[in-house]
Structure 1
Amino acid sequence: MVQGKGGKADPRVMGKDEEHQKSIVKLSQIKKIMKDKTRMRISKDALVAVSACVMYLISEITDGAKNVANTDGKKKVMPKHINHAICNDTELHFVGHDWLIKNGGMKSYISPGDFSVSSKKGSSRD
């Protein structure tokens, strides 16, 4: 006798090993990008390492954007939240300081080197 329903397995019943094997970023996509940029052969270990780095960056950005959205009192993450998350995190800002987020608004982070002492032209009187 067959018990239960047919079809796909229930995600709540799936084992932990099966969840770790799933990745948002496909290795074939990473391989294509790396091969186009380097014109070299790419090992599978290199693909797994780059995939792990990309997943880490995505998780850091989404976590920061979620926190920014919560502080704004919003339930929806918008591009401006992603932009603020990148600007507020020092490591992410170091990596993505020149990234342009569409509809992300202005960059709010000002580094200490950006300040310059300007001379006042009209202040001196004769």
Structure 2
Amino acid sequence: RALRYLYPTECEILIPAAVENVINEENADRVKTEIIVEGANGPVTPSADKILLDKGITIIPDIVANSGGIIVCQFERIQGLSDTYWDIDTVNERLKVRILKAYEEMLNTAGEMGVSLREAAWVNGLRKVSAAIR
């Protein structure tokens, strides 16, 4: 359920991390931040995305920002299939490397193509799927 009112508190980084569609066309104009890091799945609606980008707000999309859970699920699967165990430090280090790599790739693609970070993340994901099925 989307919030109709978003507190207009100014901040450098806003991290909506609980529900989807919390930033929408009804409240996006009141967002006062430099960066939004999508900690929840889909906290910014597509129409709000455009409003925020037009305001110059950087949005780090959910498919990169909150990908840790699914990445660690993959790590667990790898360990289960290979009958191995990684300690928490190994898991955290591998997770950090994976997310930072995805972030850097997203920034590079956005710069090269002149698209938003969200569009760049999707382009990178589609490229990887395409390469995997070839």
- Kindly indicate which of the two structures has a greater share of residues assigned to strand: 2
Which of 1 and 2 has higher RCO (CA within 8 Å, sep 6+)? 2
TM-score, with length taken from structure 1:
0.39
TM-score (norm. length: structure 2): 0.37
Q: Which has the larger radius of gyration?
A: 1
